[in-house]
Amino acid sequence: MSRNLLLHFRPQQISAAALRFTLTWGLGGMAALMIVQQLVTGLLLDIFYHPLPVQAYESVQHIQSTIFLGRLVRNLHHWIGHVLIVVVLLHLLRVFLSGAFYSSRRANWLVGLGLAALVLLANFSGYLLPWDQLSYWAVTIATSMLSYIPLIGIPCQELIRGGTDVGAATLQLFYFIHTSFVPATLFFLMTYHFWFVRKAGGVLISGNKTTDKQEKRNLVPVVPNLLVRELSFAAIVTSVIVIFSMRFDAPLGAMANPHLTPESVKAPWYFLGAQELLLHAPPLVAVFFLPLFIGSFLILLPFVKTVEDKTHPLLKTLVLIGFGFLLILTITGIWFRGPGMRLMWPW
């Protein structure tokens, strides 16, 4: 029975060509692994966490200082959360570049976009939970960006905050999103995502045509060929993260104080591109039209008519340029902005 269920996700044999690491760079698998790790560390943190102002901060302090391995668990959850966003974005880019989103994979591209949105939502909602100065003001800044959207901006902002300012109602909502909504939805979409890959005949094998044809026919059993590769990759990724988390602590500033904004506070890093743009472009473009444009572009992408399901090279170049542009903006926002948004060197 369990064997049959597994067969929905993995066949018994796959073509030897599908084993090549550079087909996927292991990004999708890495994302899945990290989501499971987030679930485990998140549950451990949730045992001792209280989603109320003041108590939230104190409970995080308690987890860090008195609970056995508490600090390590929090560090893991924190760092994996950030790395996961990078991995998901790279995965998206990889799938785009190998053109694996046409015909039978079209629906799965959309499911993947949903997953990416959920991962972002998870990170952003988790940002507020420690209730320290950093999280309080970062969420204040990020939700303030909404106020630049005409008509619906302010009502949306107040709905999210549960009032005019970030407060207890905001924490309650973010806690719910982070610990109930996201995990439940993520689970369903992930199952779907994997099953769709299987249904479309495994990963897309691109590259040299003639040798591939031979290799494609050359079937090898999944156990051990694929399994060993996956497990060893997972082991490497996990040990790198654990070592990193043992070495570097997740930040925890002073307790949130709505009366005092600390020096050099920033929005979460994945919003810094938008914030940077906010300095140079009309606000409406930066926080509304650009995200709307990127969103609809990604959704409509697999429906564009193509020859032989190949992405036009020009489109690829344009997307890469756009991606590079956002990357530069984000990097500027993260490392080259000092107190008071002055441009400066990161050292």
Contacting residues toward another protein, per CB under 8 A: 137, 140-141, 143-145, 147, 158-159, 162-165, 169, 173, 258-265, 267, 275, 278-279, 283, 339-342
Q: Which is nearer to another protein, 158 or 230 (CB)?
A: 158
Q: What is the DSSP letter of 221?
A: E
Query: Closer CB to another protein, residue 4 or residue 164?
Result: 164
- To another protein, the closest distance from the beta carbon of 330 in angstroms equals 16
Q: What is d(CA 18, CA 198) in angstroms, rounded to the nearest whole number?
A: 12
Based on CB atoms, which residue is closest to another protein, 307 or 343? Answer: 343
Rounded CA-CA distance 338/344 in Å is 6
Name which of 327, 202, 225, 212 is nearest 277 in CA terms. Answer: 327
Whole-number Cα distances in Å, 162 to 6, 18, 130, 159, 319? 43, 49, 18, 5, 37
Please state the closest distance from residue 182 (CB atom) to another protein, in A. Answer: 16
Residue whose CB is less far from another protein, 101 or 288: 288
**Toward another protein, which CB reaches closer, 32 or 173?**
173
Q: Which of 195, 146, 169, 187 is nearest to 6 (CA)?
A: 195
**CB count, 10 Å around CB of 314?**
8
Q: Which is nearer to another protein, 209 or 259 (CB)?
A: 259
Helices 133-144 and 106-128 cross at an angle (nearest 10°) of 130
Q: Identify which of residues 100 and 329 has a Cβ nearer to another protein in the complex.
A: 329
Least Cβ distance, residue 154 to another protein (angstroms)? 10
Residue at 8: amino acid letter = H
Assess whether the previous peptide bond of 313 is cis (omega < 30° from 0).
Answer: no
CB count in 10 Å sphere of residue 318: 12
CB of residue 169 to another protein, shortest distance in Å: 4
Beta carbon of residue 259, minimum distance to another protein (angstroms, whole number): 6
Q: Which is nearer to another protein, 55 or 144 (CB)?
A: 144
Cα 327 from Cα 188, distance rounded (Å): 31
- Output the DSSP codes for 266-298: ---GGGHHHHHHHHHS-HHIIIIIHHHHHHHHH
**How many residues are there in the chain?**
347
Q: How far is the CB of 138 from another protein (least distance, A)?
A: 10
Residue number, 11 or 262, with CB nearest to another protein: 262
CB of 56 to another protein, least distance (A): 17
Q: Where are the alpha helices (DSSP H) in the chain?
A: 2-7, 27-46, 55-65, 70-97, 106-128, 133-144, 153-161, 168-176, 182-199, 209-217, 222-247, 272-280, 283-284, 290-300, 313-335
Please state whether 279 falls in left (phi above 0), alpha (psi between -120 and 50) or beta: alpha
CB 339 to another protein: min, Å: 7
Min separation Cβ 273 and another protein, Å: 15
